[in-house]
């Protein structure tokens, strides 16, 4: 066996271990983004999420009730540091409800993401001032990690909707329709996320 192959075999379990013990993941959700060709945006996330670490520990009987309460406080504090979080409510088995809402100007801020942390990125947008393009994407997770989560009993489903009058360069939306509410050149791009193995949501817009 070559050194490179040995390294790959060693690194993969370590990566999965870190991923499974440290992240938050969506369970059921609706995400809506209104993005204008001027760069103005309005991003909303409404759904249920899970702490993989807490869920896994509770399922395996490694976390007792007292420790669960402590971890819930840490998670709540983690989320409420983000002022865009409008609601946080814990349910059970590491699952909680979150409502998040933020708006602004991408030309000025350059990027926006839910949740407001690089390590826990769920969905977000970035503006490239050189190309004047906006990229929108959901968090990309390796298929092997998705399988680990699914085998653990975790899955996700939901919808992502983008309302825009900007020029769409590329997208992998499930459907595209005219947006009668906003009118004009606005179109609605919808991603129907059926399960954890659905393709990563992605879109590139050209603004003026």
Q: Tell me the pLDDT band of 91, cut-offs 50, 70 and 90.
A: very high
Query: Mean pLDDT over residues 149-154, rounded?
Result: 96
Domain 23-206 belongs in CATH node 2.60.40: yes
The full set of domain ranges for the chain reads 23-206
Give 130's DSSP letter: T
Q: Is the pLDDT of residue 104 over 60?
A: yes
What pLDDT does 23 receive? 84
Q: Tell me the pLDDT band of 10, cut-offs 50, 70 and 90.
A: very low
Q: Tell me the pLDDT band of 140, cut-offs 50, 70 and 90.
A: confident
What pLDDT does 21 receive? 44
Concatenated DSSP letters of 75-88: HHHHHHTSTTEEEE
What pLDDT does 15 receive? 36
CB hemisphere CA count around 80 (13 angstroms): 10
Bridge partners, residue 127, by sequence: 134
Q: Tell me the pLDDT band of 197, cut-offs 50, 70 and 90.
A: very high
Query: Mean pLDDT over residues 102-116, rounded?
Result: 91
Query: Whole-prediction pTM value?
Result: 0.85
CB hemisphere CA count around 142 (13 angstroms): 10
């Amino acid at each position: 066996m070559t050194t490179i192959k040995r390294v790959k075999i060693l690194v993969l379990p370590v990566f999965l271990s870190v991923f499974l013990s440290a992240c938050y993941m969506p369970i059921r959700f609706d995400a809506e983004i209104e993005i204008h060709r001027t760069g103005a945006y309005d991003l909303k996330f409404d759904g249920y999420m899970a702490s993989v670490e807490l869920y896994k520990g509770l399922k395996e009987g490694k976390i007792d009730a007292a420790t669960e309460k402590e971890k819930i406080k840490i998670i709540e504090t983690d989320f409420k540091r983000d002022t865009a979080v409008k609601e946080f409510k814990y349910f059970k088995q590491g699952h909680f409800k979150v409502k998040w809402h933020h708006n602004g100007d991408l030309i000025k801020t350059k990027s926006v993401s839910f949740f407001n942390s690089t390590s826990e990125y769920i969905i977000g947008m970035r503006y490239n001032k050189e190309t004047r393009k906006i990229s929108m994407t959901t968090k990309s997770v390796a298929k092997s990690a998705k399988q680990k989560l699914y085998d653990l009993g975790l899955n996700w489903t939901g919808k992502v909707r983008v309302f825009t009058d900007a020029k769409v360069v590329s997208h992998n939306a499930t459907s595209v329709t005219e947006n009668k509410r906003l009118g004009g050149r606005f179109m609605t791009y919808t991603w129907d996320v059926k399960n954890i193995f659905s393709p990563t949501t992605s879109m590139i817009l050209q603004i003026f």
